[in-house]
Structure 1
Amino acid sequence: MSLTMKKRRHAEAMVPQAWLGLMKGQARKAGRRVSPMAETARDVAAHRLEDARIWAAPKLDQASHSVEEQFAPMVSAFLAEMSRRVDVSPVKSRRRWPMLALLTGAVIGAVGAVMYRNNAQRWTDTMKDNMREGVSDTAKWTGEKARETADKVGKKSDDISGKIS
């Protein structure tokens, strides 16, 4: 056997014709010996495949019922929830609560403002009454102090004029 190199660096085997005939004969003999074993392997594989299908068929049926009864409702509920969340159309119940809270706040604010004005008016009236009473009390007190001071000044001036004369 000789090897030759071509231009593109491919090795090419040069096998003599006699060797090819010899190898062909040996392959036929090996094929005749292996053929019964291959048929037996094929039959065993077919039998085992049939056994596997007999075992797997009820398991797959049971799994399909289990998925249908247990898993499918959860997936369906999940998908329905996602579609509700993704849906663009507004839901009326979602808009009622914020509007109700806003209106309640406005009503409470208006009631508070009215109560504040009433309380402020009462406070103003009370202060006016107290001021009137306070002014008259202050005037009385001031008048009394002025009389007392005038009396003291009068006594002192009498004392001083008595000492001078």
Structure 2
Amino acid sequence: MSLTLRKRRVIVEVPNTWMGRMKAQAVRAGDRLGPMAGQAKDMAAHRFEDARYWAAPRLEDAAQRLEKDLAPRVSAMLADAAKKVDPTPARSRRWPVAVLVTGVALGAMGYMFYRRNAQQWTDHMKDSAADASRWVSDKADQTAGKANQLADKVSDKADEASKKY
């Protein structure tokens, strides 16, 4: 329904159909409730915020309790169920121990071979050093002999030269 002023007269227009009347009534209700709807919206937003402040610490506590208390129990229960259902046999601890013992035995054998080889090398080096010192001594004797022969020749030449003058 609308009011229209025409030359100082008020004309009231009434819709002819039921749908038109309902629409007009909804428009009038909306005009009256508009300010209240804004207030209700602000109030609801404030209440939601209050509810969030209240719920956040409680949810956090619940999550921590689940993590600390319930989760390990559920995990252990599922692990036990998996062990019962698993068709493969349980692994033996003999295999890793056997590998470890074999490694230690091989290491001990390697150490013994190293020590024996080192001892043989030391003995060989002693013999080689003795041979080397003997060789050096022989070379020194040869060089000394050559030096003596050369000194004798020089001495003879010097005597000859002194006789000529």
TM-score, reference length from structure 2? 0.42
TM-score, reference length from structure 1? 0.42
